[in-house]
Structure 1
Amino acid sequence: MLNYFKDVMAPTTRSSKAEADNKDGGICTKVALSENCSENSLPPPQMKGYKITDNERTKKYGIGANSLQMLKEKAILKFPIKDLKLYLSTDGFEISDDDYFQTLAAQTLFIVAGPDEIITTDADFEFEKLRKNSPLLRVADIIYEFIEHNPEQFRKMITDYENRKICHKQALDRNQQPYDNKTQFSLRTEHSEWFEGQEERCHSKEEAMARRAQDRMRSYYYKTKEELTRNKLYRQNLKARHIIDAVLEQFRYLLIGCDYFSTLFNRKCPKKHSIVQQHHDDETDASAMLPNKRLRQVIKEYTARHQILDEWSVSLCTELGDFYCQGSYSDNGNCCALKHTINPYASRENLILFQVWNLDHQIELSRSILPALIDNVRMLVEQPQKKCTLHNKRVIDISVLEYFLEIFSLKNLKLVHIVCHEKTQRANKSNGRLVCAQCHEYKIVQELMGVRENEEDVDVAS
């Protein structure tokens, strides 16, 4: 498994104090004197300032402490929680060892919570806050609530809209006019009403649509994380917990490597999905996405160099921004019998309607993929001598890359109009399995995770 959780050696026991009386007139032997002097000269741990908060971030306190026990004793006065535990806010890791605690920097933020509480990390908290404060995401919540309570009325509204759009397009075609005089505009200054309610940092439609694709991938990640960490196996088995935590970290790095599949909704991505090629064969070149921070860029360069996710890092729309429904789960191939299309680049109305176009998991996430992943983790914990089906070697991990592709990539996702999103239970099963050290996908993921360690070594050296 990944070397995320480094074992901290217990402090060595020192020899007892040497006898004062010896043949040298009461002077300690050289070894005993050295140890006693070292022991007496050790200063007490330095007091440092730390921050603590609860899982809901309702209050935050600054606390000075020189040991883990002192910090816990002061924390429980602020948050009277039974069997209080301290977790790092960055990744939810529990701090239970004082030697490790001493390595943490001052002003580190800890979350105080009970032993069975699901920790909301900083990233989780910020995403949830963004979801609540985003006008478009709030609109999406309203739309989904309306759909849930008025399914037939919503279907009729969508059908009427599609019919009006078809008639409008036919009229434009007859007059030989462009699809929409603002569809091809990209910048905020060119089509300001399209950006109403958008984040200020999005200066182009392509940036905004790329972020929407990333947000959908993040929602799958948080859903996956929530279901895995709430599972009984995760709560009760420490080894299983470490395996699942490592899997989630590997998922996160793979998502960074492909920029959270930001290309899916970006019309300027030159690589197009096959469904787009079926409709248009004259796609042109386009600019690439800007890089993020240094480590993210290193990971992206690695995944690009080894072509790990190239097959699935494509765009689902034409150069103009037209998306085509791939049809319901029961349809053969990628054909939609109702010929649903939409161009969210054309207008704000279309952009909002695009929120209810779904990326449909053909192998279902909650019913098939995640239960299979948990079963394989359980098998890895309970049957460590089990053999890999391909190489007949002892298994050491689960097939992280296969599960990743099933959860996040177009290998298992189809873009469908909401009318074509079938909710019926499906018979297909996850292809995830247990892997050994000789399995190709195990080597790929381990090499990818080694990128962070190499980068950290470079930072330390510099």
Structure 2
Amino acid sequence: MPKREIKEEKPKLFKIRRAGESKKFGVAASTLKELIRKGCGLFQASPSKAQCCLYEDGTLITEEYFLHVPENTEVVLLSAGQSWSGSVVYDLGQVLCLDRHADELISAAKNLLQDDDEELPAKRRKLLGDLLCNLKDNADLEDRADDEEWFEGIDTRFKTKSAYMKYNCEQRIRGYLKEVDGHAQTIQSVRAKGEYKKVVMSLAEKLKSERYNGNYFDRTEKELHRLCTNEGWFSCQGAFDQEKCGSLHSINPYGNRESRILFSTWNLDHRIEKKRTIIPTLVEALHAKKSSDINLDYFYKLLFTRENLKLVHIVCHKKGAHDLTCDSRQVYKRAKKTQR
């Protein structure tokens, strides 16, 4: 048998530097492993636990992410124990001669973000937001006693960051259930309303058994059940009509209080819309039918699970009608098929 040819990735050029150093070199690499190996050779650094991240915002590069990094991207080689908060922190620190943890630097960034000047470029606002998210990074701390500032304003019953983040996600999912329940008030038929309420009760019971899917935000959960890394990093999954986020938005709400608050602006967005498509389809499916005739799992997955939910940065959250005609038709089609 003829040997199958193994397609090799074309080497990409990178500009690599060490954390806190201005000197950089050009390196060509086909894989992340090769990039790290060559970088360690250039800077005479130990390859043990070495990593690479983006110079601009400190995003860690994985093997999968490496494939999507553009040509001539500037990266930072991190030795074991090192971190990089991004070019904004480094450049401001150099200009202002301030330590990256200095209160003055944080205060200045906050004041600029609170400025009502509409002419402040969106990109600058994003950079300042990233700056606040990366300063005072205590993502490695988990307990309340070790990072009291992170828990400011949070009920004392929460003793760990993961417990609160899980609760945060649960509250979002509970909110969706409340919206589904509230729709019952718009149903005119007494019989149809009664059957609809039975479906809502069944959905509530199923959600309760699944602990309202709060594991999505809990970094202590198994990888299969969460949306973040072990360290707590979340990545934007892109707008409803995109396969991925072109801006590579990311955030670690476990890092500091500012990041935790900013994460509240991220959305668990329904790709196929809850109010315009899913709920109306459920009501139509109950027409002249009983609640027991409905495939509960089908609607449960669309309303409350990652099968139809995408975590998106506020910039990627398109609030207008989701133009997914084919998907919407499929929902109606599937809804009819799922009736027993």
TM-score, normalization by structure 1: 0.44
Aligned to 2:281: 372
- The letter for the 2-side match of 1:319 is N
Are the counterparts in 2 of residues 162 and 340 from structure 1 also a CA contact under 8 Å?
no
1:160 aligned partner: 127
The change in CA–CA distance for 1:398 and 1:193 in structure 2 (over 3 A counts) is: same
Name the SS of the counterpart of 2:145 in structure 1.
Answer: coil
Match of residue 309 from structure 2 = 413
Distance in 2, matches of 1:419 and 1:436, equals 36
1:201 and 2:157 aligned: yes
Provide the C-alpha distance between the structure 1 equivalents of 2:256 and 2:149, rounded to a whole number of angstroms. 8
Task: Please tell me the residue identity of whatever aligns with 2:247.
Answer: L
The runs of 4+ residues in structure 1 deviating greater than 4 Å are 149-158, 434-437
1:339 and 2:295 matched: no
- Please list, as runs of the form range in 1=range in 2, the aligned pairs for 1:167-246 lying within 5 A after superposition: 182-226=138-182, 228-231=183-186, 233=187, 236-246=188-198
In structure 2, what residue type is equivalent to 1:365?
K
Secondary structure of residue in 1 paired with 2:269: strand
Which of 330, 335, 339 aligns to 1:433? It is 335
> Shift of residue 219 of structure 1?
0.5
Question: How much is the aligned-residue C-alpha RMSD, in angstroms?
Answer: 3.0
Q: Could you list the runs of 5+ residues in structure 2 that have no partner in the other structure? A: 1-115
When normalised by structure 2's length, the TM-score is 0.59
Q: Is the 8 A contact 2:216 2:227 kept in 1?
A: yes
Partners of 1:216 and 1:410 lie apart in 2 by: 13
Q: Provide the residue aligned with 1:43 in structure 2.
A: none
Q: CA deviation at 1:262?
A: 1.1
Q: Is the Cα contact below 8 Å between 2:144 and 2:151 reproduced in 1? A: yes
Change (3 A) 1:157 1:202: farther
C-alpha separation between the residues in 2 aligned to 1:401 and 1:435?
13
1:152 to partner: Cα distance: 8.8
Q: How many residues align?
A: 221
CA deviations over 1:298-357 (Å, ceiling 9, x no partner):
xxxxxxxxxxxxxxxx100001000000111222x2x21111000000000000000000
CA distance in structure 1 between the partners assigned to 2:235 and 2:337 by the alignment: 37
Instruction: Give the superposition deviation at 1:190.
Output: 0.4
Name the residue aligned to 1:324: 235
1:259–1:340 distance in 2 versus 1, CA, 3 Å? same
How far off is 1:160 after superposition?
2.7
- 1:198 partner SS: coil
| CA distance in structure 2 between the aligned counterparts of 1:357 and 1:341, rounded to whole angstroms | 10
Q: How big is the shift at 1:196?
A: 0.6
Report whether the alignment pairs 1:423 with 2:319: yes
Q: 1:211: how far off?
A: 0.1
Alignment of 1:59-458 (within 5 A): 155=122, 158-162=125-129, 164=131, 182-226=138-182, 228-231=183-186, 233=187, 236-272=188-224, 314-331=225-242, 333=243, 335-380=244-289, 397-425=293-321, 426-427=323-324, 428-429=327-328, 430=331, 432-434=334-336
**Alpha-carbon distance in structure 1 between the residues aligned to 2:185 and 2:234:** 36
* Structure 1, gaps ≥5 residues long: 1-148, 170-179, 273-313, 382-394, 440-462
Residue 406 to residue 153, structure 1, CA distance change in 2 (3 Å): farther
**Structure 1 residues 413 and 196 mapped into 2: Cα distance closer, same or farther (>3 Å)?**
same
The answer on whether the counterparts of 2:295 and 2:338 sit within 8 Å (CA) in structure 1 is no
Query: Which residue matches 1:446?
Result: none
**Partners of 1:155 and 1:243 in 2: how far apart?**
48
Q: Return closer, same or farther for 1:216/1:153 CA change in 2, 3 Å cut-off.
A: farther
- Identity of paired residues, percent? 30
Cα distance in 2 for residues equivalent to 1:418 and 1:379:
40
Deviates more, 1:351-360 or 1:154-163: 154-163
| Shift in CA distance, 407/181, structure 1 to aligned 2, threshold 3 Å | closer
Distance 1:150 1:377 in 2: 51
* Mapped contact 2:223–2:229 kept (Cα < 8 A): no
How much does 1:434 deviate? Answer: 4.4
Seen in structure 2, the aligned counterparts of structure 1 residues 216 and 163 have a Cα distance that, compared at 3 Å, is closer
User: Aligned partners of 1:348 and 1:366: how far apart in 2?
Assistant: 33
What are the Cα deviations for residues 395-446 of structure 1, in whole angstroms up to 9, with x where unaligned?
Answer: 9522221111111100000001000111232223135524678x5xxxxxxx
Contact 2:137–2:256 under 8 Å retained in 1 = no
Greater Cα radius of gyration, structure 1 or 2: 1
Letter in 1 for 2:126: T
**Structural mapping, 1:40-55, within 5 Å:** none
- Partners in 2 of 1:151 and 1:351 — Cα distance? 25
Give, in whole Å, the separation in 1 of the partners of 2:119 and 2:200: 39
